[in-house]
């Protein structure tokens, strides 16, 4: 099995909020568009709560859903019980070379140590939330950034890509 690049993708408010009452705290069409562009055709790994928060199945993408529940209405989902099972399922028949981890916070925590790349929409406003993400640690380096100002009642935001920072034997950044 060839190594697949694992990336996390999420939108995060300035105060760290990513979710509120099972939904996104904001409506940002540009973020939804980017999410679609970056995930289309790729297997998506997600937690059961995120799967249930979707408006429906997202076309053109496999939904690999982690749950510990024995019985659960999983129509449209490929149900898995462990991170290892999720990754092995996501690699099956995957010609894209990528696996998208699409949340929520519980699932990002499990997969962050294995991720090669993180795609963040940084929203430059605070939002009320019940699900939060911490800022990224020093092991992540920004590799691209696209800033967008606030318009039409929508907050300012930035599309930012982070790659894992690898040090060589001399402790220097590669
Ligand atoms: N801003 C963003 O980009 C973004 C992205 C995604 C989601 N969200 C938001 O985040 C919130 C949901 O996030 P969340 O952290 O509460 O839930 P979640 O990560 O979507 O799902 C958690 C569930 O996944 C299952 N699970 C977690 N770890 C597991 C493991 N190691 N093995 C097996 N199953 C495991 C459990 O399901 P069972 O309880 O069934 O056992 C757990 O209750 C929602 O508000 C959603 O809108 C935001």
Q: Which domains does the chain have, with CATH numbers?
A: 5-164 (3.40.430.10)
DSSP annotation string for the chain? -PPPEEEEEEEEETTSEEEBTTB-SS--HHHHHHHHHHHTTS-EEEEHHHHHHSSSPPTTS-EEEE---SS---TT-EEESSHHHHHHHHHTT--SSEEEE---HHHHHHHGGG-SEEEEEEESS----SEE-PPP-TTEEEEEEEEE--BTTBPPEEEEEEEE--B-TTS-B-
Q: Is the CB of 48 under 6 A from ligand 1?
A: yes
Dump pLDDT digits (tens) for 148-169.
Answer: 999 989 999 999 999 998 776 6
Judged by average pLDDT, the poorest of 35-49, 70-84, 121-135 is 70-84
Dump pLDDT digits (tens) for 111-130.
Answer: 999 999 999 999 999 999 99
Dump pLDDT digits (tens) for 39-52.
Answer: 999 999 999 999 99
Closest ligand 1 atom to 10 CA:
3
Instruction: Name the pTM for this structure.
Output: 0.96
Q: Is the CB of 28 under 6 A from ligand 1?
A: no
Q: Is the CB of 24 under 6 A from ligand 1?
A: yes
Q: Is the CB of 76 under 6 A from ligand 1?
A: no
């Amino acid at each position: 099995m060839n190594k697949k690049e694992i990336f996390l993708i999420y939108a995060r408010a300035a105060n760290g909020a990513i979710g509120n009452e099972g939904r996104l705290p904001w409506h940002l069409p540009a973020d939804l568009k980017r999410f679609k562009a970056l995930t289309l055709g790729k297997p998506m790994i997600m937690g059961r709560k995120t799967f249930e928060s979707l408006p429906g199945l997202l076309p053109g993408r496999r939904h690999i859903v982690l749950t510990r529940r024995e019985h659960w209405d999983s129509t449209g989902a490929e149900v898995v019980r462990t991170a290892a099972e999720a990754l092995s399922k996501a690699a099956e028949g995957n010609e894209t070379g990528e696996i998208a981890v699409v949340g929520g916070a519980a699932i990002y925590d499990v997969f962050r140590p294995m991720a090669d790349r993180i795609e963040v929409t940084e929203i430059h406003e605070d939002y009320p939330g019940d699900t939060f993400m911490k800022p990224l640690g020093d092991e992540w380096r920004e590799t691209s950034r696209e800033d967008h100002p606030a318009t039409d009642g929508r907050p300012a935001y930035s599309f930012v890509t982070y790659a894992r920072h690898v040090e060589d034997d001399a402790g220097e950044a590669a």
